[in-house]
Amino acid sequence: MTERPMNMPEKTKIRKLKSEKIENKSKEMKEIKKNEKNEDKKENIKKEFNKQENKIKKTEAVVNGKDIGISRKHAVALCNFIRNMNIEEAMIKLENVLKMKIPVPMKGEIPHRKGRIMSGRYPLNAVREFLILLKSLKSNAINHELELEKMKLFCMANRASRPMKRFGKGRHKRVHVQIKLIPIGGKDN
């Protein structure tokens, strides 16, 4: 048999069919690529989520008070007063010191107080500063998702640089205070 030659309309039909097939294939390929991209995005999101879950959990919360304008002697006495306490208990005791119900034990030539304390004072300005630091420490601990019941306070006061007063007539009082919440049974730094 001999093939008969194609007329022009048949050739255009064949070309149209071929172009439609090519377009369909290209659309299918685009959809496949989109699906692959979506799957890659989902996998990346899962990886990021797993990284967040595997993030190292903090075991302690720290607050640093720099250049606080209180006496170093008062800061050391307050640190000794609240050390190894629960944060709630420490805040209650400091509020009682503000109300002048409980004195803070201090060393030196300081008058005796009533109760089971030898000598003590009521350092009100220092207590106000410590309460601000303790509130900040509590919010840090909550942000780090620490269990406050299983934590105790570690407190340390250090000497800071003391700037001159006006006209060089003296120096201001300054102290650095660091308060940590550490696990009970953990070592003190």
pLDDT digits (tens, 9 = 90+) for 121-180: 999 999 999 999 999 999 999 999 899 999 999 999 999 999 999 998 999 999 999 999
121 vs 76: CA distance, rounded Å: 13
- Asked whether 183 and 72 are in contact (CB, 8 A), the reply is no
Task: Name the DSSP letter for residue 155.
Answer: E
Residue 32 has which token pair?
Answer: 């496949």
* 65 close to 125: Cβ distance less than 8 angstroms: no
Instruction: Kindly state the tokens that stand for 41.
Output: 């995005």
pLDDT tops 90 at residue 75: yes
What is the DSSP pairing of strand 151-159 with strand 120-121? unpaired
Tell me the C-alpha distance between 87 and 62, whole Å: 12
As a whole number, the mean pLDDT across the chain is 85
Using pLDDT thresholds of 50, 70 and 90, give the confidence band for residue 112. confident
- Dihedral angle sign, alpha carbons of residues 103, 105, 110, 112: positive
What tokens were used for 46? 């899962």
Amino acid at 178: Q
Q: Domains in the chain, please, with CATH?
A: 61-183 (3.90.470.10)
Q: Which residue has the higher pLDDT, 13 or 129?
A: 129
DSSP, collapsed to helix, strand or coil, labels residue 153 as strand
Report, as an integer, the average pLDDT of 15-35.
Answer: 75
Check pLDDT > 80 for residue 187.
no
38-53 pLDDT per residue, tens: 777 767 776 766 665 5
Biggest CA-to-CA distance, the chain? 129
